Amino acid sequence: MEDLTINGVPAMYTCEGVAVINVCVLLDQLYGPEWASDFTRDYEVTQADIQAWCAKNGSHYYSRGREDFNTYDAVDEARAKGLKVVVVEDLS
């Protein structure tokens, strides 16, 4: 079976050769599992950390509201940029 871990962050699956990572799993890796209950964490800092991880790991970041969220679009955007990993976030 193919290794679906990117720098210690497990991907949910691959689609068309692109590994798809849920942003919550990435945040677990960046901050530990208690991040979800830490209401003092600044959203802008968190977003900067996600972007930095993506840049370091050659990944695309895709976030949309529920009505506009589509994993296939996320994969297509990553592929258009020549990237093999996408971090996805459903903003609903």
In order along its 92 residues, the chain shows pLDDT tens digits of: 466 899 999 999 999 999 999 999 999 999 988 887 777 778 898 999 999 999 999 999 999 999 999 999 999 999 999 999 999 999 98
Task: Name 15's bridge partners.
Answer: 18
Print the domain residue range for 75: 5-90
The pLDDT value recorded for residue 79 is: 98
pLDDT of residue 37: 77
Q: How many domains does the chain have?
A: 1
Q: In what order do the strands lie in the sheet with 13-15?
A: 13-15, 18-22, 85-90, 59-64
pTM flag (> 0.85): yes
Predicted local confidence at residue 2, as pLDDT: 60
